[in-house]
Amino acid sequence: MLDNSYKNRENAIEEVVYDFLKDCDPVEMSQDTTEMYLRIGMMPKNAKLPKEAKPFIFQVAEIRLEHCFTFKVTDERVLLVIALISESAGVAILYLWYIQGWCFKNNVKEVSFETLGMKIFPLGFFSDKDLKSVWENQKVEKIGMESDNLIDYNIAGLSIQFLLEE
C-alpha cells in the first residue's frame, strides 16, 4: 500500500500505473471478445448511443473522460471497447489512465477506434493478472472518507496530462 502522500505527487499515476502497464505483455482477445470487437468496429464511426443503451462501465468512463483526462475520444466505439474489456469501472479507469499516458508520451490528443486498436493496443490488451496487480499496487492509505485509489486523484496524474489551452 502506498503512503497517503502519493495522491499529491504529480507523477504518481505515471510511475505506479502507466510505467507498470507499459511493460506488460499484451494478451490476445478471447474469441467472444474478438467477435464483439469486430461488431463494434463495424458500427458507424459517428454512431451516438442513447443513454439507456450505454453499459454502466461506458457511462462511468464517459463521465471520467470528460472531467479528468486531457485526451479526447472522437468515437464512442472507443468507450464501447473499454467497457467490453473492463470487468469493472475501476479497470476502465486504469485503461483510461494508461491511454492518457500513451497519448501524452506520443503527443496524440484525440483517440479514434483506429488509434486505439492499431497504435495503442495493436497486439491485445492487458491480462487480468496484470490488471489485478496494478489495481493492488495503486492503493493508497485511506484517511477518513477519502478514496483509497490513487487513480481517483487527478493531481497524481498531472505529469502525463496535456496543458489545457484557454
pLDDT tens, 16-67?
999 999 999 999 999 999 999 999 999 999 889 999 999 999 999 999 999 9
> Does residue 67 sit within a domain?
yes
Residues whose CB falls within 8 Å of the CB of residue 47, separated by 6 or more in sequence, listed in order:
76, 77
> Does residue 128 sit within a domain?
yes
Q: How confident is the model at residue 145 (pLDDT cuts 50, 70, 90)?
A: confident
Residue for grid cell 505515471: 14
pLDDT at residue 166, rounded to an integer: 52
pLDDT at residue 15, rounded to an integer: 97
> Does residue 166 sit within a domain?
no
> Which triple of cell numbers denotes residue 116?
486505439
> What's the CA gap between 136 and 2, in Å, rounded?
10
> Does residue 165 sit within a domain?
no
Could you say which DSSP state residue 110 is in? E
- pLDDT of 115 > 90? The answer is yes
Give the residue numbers spanning the domain of 78: 4-160
pLDDT at residue 47, rounded to an integer: 87
> Does residue 132 sit within a domain?
yes
Task: Give me the chain's average pLDDT, please.
Answer: 95
> Does residue 57 sit within a domain?
yes
> Does residue 114 sit within a domain?
yes
> Does residue 64 sit within a domain?
yes
Number of domains the chain is built from: 1
